[in-house]
Chain A
Amino acid sequence: MTAAIDLFSVVAIGAGVFFFFAGAVGLLRFPDSLTRLHALSKADNLGLGLVVLGLLSRSGSLQEALKLVVVWALVQISGAAASQMIGRALRLEGTRK
């Protein structure tokens, strides 16, 4: 049973790190600010989400697990709002030029 849990953690965390990698690559290589913003939010949601998922199975108590989920939820909310604001700033910048 422990081996199955460990395997799940490894797969989930590995996928999470992959999404961070994808987000960084997107940030560096995409041609346009708005497309880079898109890449960024993928890393925020999926990267951290998968890492938290993998760590949930290792947490020792309900309180620890809840804390992990709260951290992820906070990053989700604030990341979403920040992405909207950055997007609007980019659009205004584009029309001002």
Chain B
Amino acid sequence: MNDFLLAAAGLTLLTVAVGLARVLYGPGEADRIMAAQLFGTGGIAALLLIASAASAPVPGVEDVALGVALLAAFVSIAFVNAAGGASESPGGGD
């Protein structure tokens, strides 16, 4: 069972890492943000799976997953704010 959990974690990470290729190709900034968002969710899944696998016990990993879950959208929002705002006048003094 532990092996299965670790294998699932590894597969998930591999899958979303392949999805990161969209960061390379994505013609728009939104595509890059989406790839990063997918990567964040996959990372959370991998962390939860690792937390449950008893052969590599690390206490407190669920808290790491909780922190990442809180901040995943935070980064996406900031990027969307910045991506669209780039064509508007940037902030700052004159």
Instruction: Name A residues whose Cβ lies closer than 8 Å to a Cβ of B.
Output: 6, 9-10, 13-14, 16-17, 20-21, 23-24, 27-28, 33, 36-37, 40, 43-44, 47-48, 51-52, 55, 58-59, 64, 67-68, 70-71, 74-75, 77-79, 81-82, 85-86, 89-90, 92-93, 96
Q: Please indicate the chain A residues that have their CB under 8 angstroms from the CB of B28 in the complex.
A: 33, 90, 93
CB atoms of A68 and B62 under 8 A apart: yes
- Judge whether B58 is part of the interface by a CB distance below 8 angstroms: no
A68 and B80 form a contact (CB under 8 A): no
Given the interface pairs A71-B62, A85-B80, the reply to whether A90 lies near B73 with Cβ below 8 Å is: no
Partner of A28, one of B1, B19, B52: B19
Additional A-B contact list (16), CB under 8 Å, known A21-B15, A24-B18, A40-B38 = A13-B4, A13-B5, A23-B38, A27-B19, A27-B35, A28-B21, A36-B22, A37-B34, A43-B38, A71-B62, A71-B66, A75-B44, A78-B74, A78-B76, A82-B80, A90-B30
Q: A17-B12, A55-B52, A86-B30 are in contact. Are A78 and B72 (CB under 8 A)?
A: yes
